[in-house]
Amino acid sequence: MPVAVVVTVIIAIWYAAAVGLNAPWAHDKAKRAGQELGLAALVQDTWSQDKPKLPAPHQVGAEIWKTTVQKKITSKRSLVYHGWITLSATLLGFGFGTVFGILLAVGIVYNRTMDMSVMPWVIASQTIPILAIAPMIIVVLNAVGISGLLPKAMISMYLSFFPVVVGMVKGLRSPDRMQLDQMRTWNASAAQTFWRLRLPSSMPYLFTSLKIAMAASLVGAIVGELPTGAVAGLGARLLAGSYYGQTIQIWSALIAAAALAAVLVSLIGVLQRVTLRRMGMQE
Amino acid sequence: MTWLVFAFAVWALGWTVNNWLARLRPNRAITLLVPIIFGATLLGIWEGVVQGLEISPILLPAPTMIAQRTAASVDILWVDFVQTVIKGALSGYVMGCGGAFLIAIAIDRFPFLQRGLLPVGNFVAALPVVGMAPILVMWFGFDWQSKAAIVVVMVFFPMLVNTVQGLQSSTAMQRDLMRTYAAGYWVTLFKLRLPAAMPFVFNGLKIGTTLALIGAIVAEFFGSPIRGMGFRISTSVGQLALDLVWAEIFVAAVAGSAFYGFVALLERRVTFWHPSQRK
């Protein structure tokens, strides 16, 4: 209930802001046509401009409807097509990042030298605004002949490995002394301790960090699409929209990206609930 | 060939030294030294491999080349630094975090808003907010105002969610104790709840530092005056002046780490009582 109210209020503010921001243009047009603009006419005009400063929600909705349902999926104008391109880069990068992150975390937990030397750099690597070098990675990899999905996926990977490393290190270390001692009294080997105790008890941490990693990975893929010369993908739609002042297109790409993020993150949420329940860890 | 041998030697040496150090009884100096040696090793390997395999400087310049370029173009880097970090990122960071902090306190007073805004805030915090950049550039123009605006939007929600969570972190027992002292809302807020919220607040602040720099730089890809780190990076990539790009990245890395380090230091001073800060 409260969520619904808040969302309604946000949409209402959006409509009001659309009137406010688009009013100058509407007044300008009316003045040149030599007309006085009444309140009703003003509202109507501000909500239906071609290239408004802030498109009204229903315009964005109509654009999304037009570019998803009414276009063929293979069409260059279809949002589904662009979304798919972004999604594939996101998932690929997310997969790489997760695997890399887990391996790194295992290394850090089992090797003291790695713990002391790598961990500070893992943290430092995130204080570097890596997204800034995204265009360079793309261009450089392009020069070596790698183009398309992989460069974008690399950026996604870089952004998504960090939460996984931090979460998994915490998770793999979460079994307490008592449990580790118990494994020793059972004469468990290091591998057995890992598979039977450390890995299972790290699962809640893993899923929490996977959610963050997924969101980060999507951001990486979108930003990775910016410098490729606006060919395809949601990021390219954003860039093309900003070049040609197609605000409605920008907003619809933005909403599509938001929806994609929401779906992906909630998918992991479902997976988390199912897994943890089967493992008997759900409280 | 000698360079490759050099790279291998650096790797072997760094690894051995670190292995030896890691086995010693850990103290402050060692925990500081080990990552430094690791970093230096990486740089050495980078230099050796680039020189040894004669990788074109257009693809990957060697560290020494980047260092030369950084030293040679201090004036450009400084102008860009001021434009992007000081004007864009910092001002947006202060406005965004400050605003979110105040609004979080307001939300905290109304349970209804809490239940309504928190899920929405959590949702927005997971969205690719960077995508708002072209829109904000359109609204606020090419100069630093639009960069500050995108930074505000980016840091706002993580900060809001963390602060609200932090304000709820004092236990019922502690709040009851304040009541028995006949403390009113404001006294409780300042003496108990805000201090208790500080670890969470700093968590939000730390997340914000990286986001702020990213936001300011990425927003410049969508249009900027002829200075700024994002502008320099995108134009230098076009000119294949990769050493300048790396110099910018170096500055961004140093600025980002310093920014984060400063907030972390502040955190240590403010939340010295928290278990994670105690030695």
**What is the mean pLDDT of the segment spanning A100-119?**
83
- Indicate if the pLDDT at residue B276 is higher than 70: no
- Residue B113 identity: L
Cross-chain residue pair A140–B39, CB shorter than 8 Å: no
- Residue B79 identity: V
Supply the pTM of this predicted model: 0.79
Output A267 or B230, whichever has higher pLDDT: A267
Residue B7: inside a domain, yes or no? yes
Judging contacts by C-beta atoms under 8 Å, the chain A residues touching residue B126 are: 211-212, 215, 261-262, 265
Cross-chain residue pair B260–A127, CB shorter than 8 Å: yes
Whether the CB-CB separation of A74 and A247 falls below 8 Å is answered with: no
Supply the mean pLDDT for chain A. Answer: 80
Distance CA B110, CA B167 (A): 12
- Residue B230 identity: G
DSSP code per residue over chain B: -HHHHHHHHHHHHHHHHHHHHHHSPP-HHHHHHHHHHHHHHHHHHHHHHHHHTT--TTT---HHHHHHHHHHTHHHHHHHHIIIIIIIIIHHHHHHHHHHHHHHHHHHH-HHHHHHHHHHHHHHHTS-GGGGHHHHHHHH-SSHHHHHHHHHHHHHHHHHHHHHHHHT-S-HHHHHHHHHTT--HHHHIIIIIHHHHHHHHHHHHHHHHHHHHHHHHHHHHT---S-SHHHHHHHHHHTT-HHHHHHHHHHHHHHHHHHHHHHHHHHHHHTTTSGGG--
- Indicate if the pLDDT at residue B45 is higher than 80: yes
- Is A79-278 a CATH 1.10.3720.10 domain? yes
- Indicate if the pLDDT at residue A95 is higher than 90: yes
- pLDDT class for A60, splitting at 50, 70, 90? confident
- Indicate if the pLDDT at residue A127 is higher than 70: no
Q: Are residue B21 and residue B85 in the same domain, yes or no?
A: no
Judging contacts by C-beta atoms under 8 Å, the chain B residues touching residue A251 are: 135
- pLDDT class for A260, splitting at 50, 70, 90? confident
- Indicate if the pLDDT at residue A263 is higher than 70: yes
Distance CA B176, CA B192 (A): 11
Distance CA A20, CA B180 (A): 50
**What is the mean pLDDT of the segment spanning B207-234?**
81
Query: Which of A119-128, A192-201, B137-146 bottoms out in mean pLDDT, i.e. has the lowest?
Result: A119-128
Q: Of A7, A191, A135, which Cα lies nearest the Cα of B124?
A: A7
Supply the mean pLDDT for chain B. Answer: 83
Region of A34 (left: φ > 0; alpha: ψ -120 to 50; beta: rest) is: left
Output A155 or A94, whichever has higher pLDDT: A94
Q: What is the pLDDT of residue A255?
A: 83
Q: How many domains does chain B have?
A: 2
- Candidates B135, B154, B209, partner chain A, best to mutate (most A CBs within 10 A): B135
Q: Are residue B86 and residue B193 in the same domain, yes or no?
A: yes
Cross-chain residue pair B35–A117, CB shorter than 8 Å: yes
Residues 6+ apart with CB under 8 A from B204: B97, B100, B158, B159, B160, B161, B162, B163
- Indicate if the pLDDT at residue A89 is higher than 60: yes
Distance from CA of A198 to the nearest CA of B (A): 23
Domain range for B82: 70-277
Q: What is the pLDDT of residue A94?
A: 92
Residue B18: inside a domain, yes or no? yes
Give the model confidence (pLDDT) of B74-87 as tens digits. 888 888 888 888 88
Cross-chain residue pair A6–B15, CB shorter than 8 Å: no
The b/e string for B87-120 (b: 16+ C-beta within 10 A; e otherwise) is: bbbbbbbebbbeebbebbbebbeeeebbebbbeb
Distance CA B145, CA B151 (A): 10
Q: Are residue B38 and residue B88 in the same domain, yes or no?
A: no
Cross-chain residue pair A222–B128, CB shorter than 8 Å: yes
- pLDDT class for A102, splitting at 50, 70, 90? very high
- Indicate if the pLDDT at residue A99 is higher than 90: yes
Q: What is the pLDDT of residue B208?
A: 86
Output B191 or A131, whichever has higher pLDDT: B191
Q: Are residue B95 and residue B147 in the same domain, yes or no?
A: yes
Nearest CA in chain B to A54: B135
Give the model confidence (pLDDT) of A25-44 as tens digits. 777 777 777 776 677 777 77
- Residue A263 identity: V
- Indicate if the pLDDT at residue A283 is higher than 60: no
Q: Are residue B181 and residue B208 in the same domain, yes or no?
A: yes
Give the model confidence (pLDDT) of A154-208 as tens digits. 888 888 888 888 888 888 888 888 888 998 899 988 888 888 888 888 888 888 8
| Domain layout of chain A by residue ranges | 2-54, 79-278
Round to the nearest angstrom and report the end-to-end CA distance of chain B: 48
Q: Are residue B44 and residue B178 in the same domain, yes or no?
A: no
- pLDDT class for A132, splitting at 50, 70, 90? low
Residue B60: inside a domain, yes or no? no
Q: Are residue B228 and residue B157 in the same domain, yes or no?
A: yes
Give the model confidence (pLDDT) of B90-113 as tens digits. 999 999 999 999 988 888 888 787
- Residue B142 identity: F
Percentage of residues of chain B with pLDDT beyond 70: 98
